[in-house]
Amino acid sequence: MKKNIIIAIVIIGCLGLIAFTLMNNKKENEAKTDIVAQKNASVTVKIDPVKTEEISLDFSVNGNFEPMQELTFSAEKSGKVISVLAKEGDYVTVGQTLVIVRSDVVDVNAQTAKATYENAKTDYARYENAFKTGGVTKQQLDQAKLALTNAGANLKQANINVGDTRVKAPIKGFINKRYIEPGSILTGMPASAMFDIVNVSKLKLKVTVNESQVASLKLGNTVNITASVYPDVTFSGKITFIATKADSSLSFPVEIEIANNSNNDLKAGMYGTAKFASKQQKQSMMTVPRNAFVGSVSSNQIFVAENGIAKLKTIVAGRILGDKVEIISGLSDGESVIVTGQINLQDGNKVEILK
């Protein structure tokens, strides 16, 4: 009986092994068939010819206008707001009073500090005269002088506190937002925000350029600027900052300072375009469309179509010129580079050209 059970188990095991082997062979054959089918299938692509042409080295980049100076103006001292003298949209100048804070307690403290100072000054004068005649010791005179110094410091601080009850604008600009109303309670820790002040008499346009473009830029260069809402108006800008290190996208941040017009038409946050002019107006060079590259321009790989076959070529790319890229070597005039469909391609695939 036991012998029959063992024989049955062996038979079942052999059958299972045979079934597994057959399934595995089937999968391998299907995979090979898929590979063959893939190799024989044509990939539909678009092509563009390599050509040498006169290219303008001028270029334009876009960015957003930012204020040269902006500030969230916060309270330095605690107190109750009695009066607010500026509203949103008002233009304020440096030193202009914006807020009046309750001052009765502060005024009393200042009067007390002044009286204490005057008393200390009188005492010091009396001790000084007495010291000359030997009426007081040098130590007593020094203590009177220290009391006068402390009283003077307290008076100075008290006068500062009085001045702080009339809160003044630290910069010029427009009140972009007001956070307080009469009756608001200000705190010094944490500081209560009172106003957002934005100075747009000068703005900066922040843009990014690639490595071939940044090489031609210098601090102080003049740049023509246009705003999307004023396409027919040209503003003059000056390069004030060029990054010495590329960002994570391998682009170099550049800042351009622009003087606003008398009407302050340019607003922070508007969309602007910087037009960089090259000293050399045009140059003859071999180019291909930027989207011909596999992955990105830095890959230096391009597929060309030759007799219905995709061939992967390693080239040397030069400057990026808008939607075109300069080719230093690796291609010849007239070759057909593949500009769409590369994601489905491998070297040697058949291609069907989409007209």
pTM summary value:
0.56
Instruction: Report pLDDT for 37.
Output: 44
Q: What single DSSP character describes residue 175?
A: E
Model confidence over 268-284: pLDDT tens digits? Answer: 999 999 998 876 667 78
- CA 48 from chain centre, in angstroms, equals 36
What stretches in the chain show pLDDT beneath 70? 1-40, 103-108, 161-164, 279-281
pLDDT at 36: 41
pLDDT of residue 353: 87
| Encoded tokens for 206 | 């922040």
d(CA 330, CA 147): 87
The per-residue pLDDT for 147 is: 87
Q: At 93, list the tokens.
A: 């100048």
- Going by C-beta distance under 8 Å and a sequence separation of 6 or more, which residues neighbour residue 19? none
DSSP output for 267-308: -TT-EEEEEEPPSS-EEEEEEEEGGGBSSSGGG-EEEEEETT
Domain 59-67+198-276: state its class.
mainly beta
pLDDT, position 306: 92
Q: Is 99:85 a contact under the CB 8 Å cutoff?
A: yes
Domain definitions of the chain by residue range: 42-55+283-353, 59-67+198-276, 103-164
264 half-sphere exposure, CB direction, 13 A CA radius: 13
> For domain 42-55+283-353, which CATH number applies: 3.40.50.1970, 2.40.420.20, 3.40.50.11900, 2.30.110.10?
2.40.420.20
Q: What does the DSSP assignment read for 87-132?
A: -TT-EE-TT-EEEEE--HHHHHHHHHHHHHHHHHHHHHHHHHHHHH
- Among residues 173, 165, 186, which one has the least CA distance to residue 74? 186
Between CA 88 and CA 18 the distance in angstroms is: 85
* Domain 59-67+198-276 matches domain 103-164 at the CATH topology level: no
Hey, what CATH class is 103-164 in? mainly alpha
Could you report the per-residue pLDDT of 131-178, keeping only the tens digit for each? 888 888 888 888 888 988 898 888 888 777 666 678 889 999 999 999
Q: How far apart are CA 22 and CA 17, in angstroms?
A: 9
